[in-house]
Amino acid sequence: MNKIFHPNIDELSGSVCLDVINQTWSPMFDMINIFEVFLPQLLRYPNPTDPLNGEAAALLMREPAAYEAKVKDYVSRFATKEAAEAATDDSASESDESSHGSLSDDDETAGMEL
């Protein structure tokens, strides 16, 4: 997952502020509308008055130039092909470590009576 610095997106989980979608939602919209219309609009026009990321919202409202600089920094650090490949490599090695850990737990309990 790429990190994003945005008032309406939680940096740790990647959750999107649903209030923005709920304000304009109707049953006539489908998932295509969410991905092609709502999310791009949300990313382009943040709503700092209803934030999931208070730090990003405060920075956008108080110092727009500093907010823009921080967004550009996040893009260069986390939204490049190299960063995505590094994140994929990191998550693969974490998966390997956790699977090895579970094997060793099984080995330790193999000789124990229940």
What is the full DSSP assignment across 7-51? TTB-TTT--B-HHHHHHH--TT--HHHIIIIIHHHHHHS--TTS-
* Higher pLDDT, residue 20 or 67: 67
Which of 4, 9, 16, 17 is an active site residue?
A: 17
Nearest to 48, CA basis, from 37, 36, 56:
56
Annotation says 17 is catalytic: yes
Contact 16, 23 (CB under 8 A): no
Kindly report the pTM of this predicted structure: 0.67
The DSSP output letter for 6 is: B
Tokens of 113: 């009576």
Residues in CB range of 60: below 8 A, 6 or more apart: 7, 46, 48, 67
Average pLDDT over residues 24-45: 83
pLDDT at residue 48, rounded to an integer: 94
pLDDT of 26 higher than 80: no
pLDDT at residue 104, rounded to an integer: 47
pLDDT of 47 higher than 80: yes
Q: How far is 23 from 40, CA to CA, in rounded Å? A: 16
* Higher pLDDT, residue 42 or 71: 71
Contact 5, 56 (CB under 8 A): yes
* Higher pLDDT, residue 97 or 83: 83
Confidence band, pLDDT 50/70/90 cuts, at residue 93 = low
Mean pLDDT value across the chain: 80
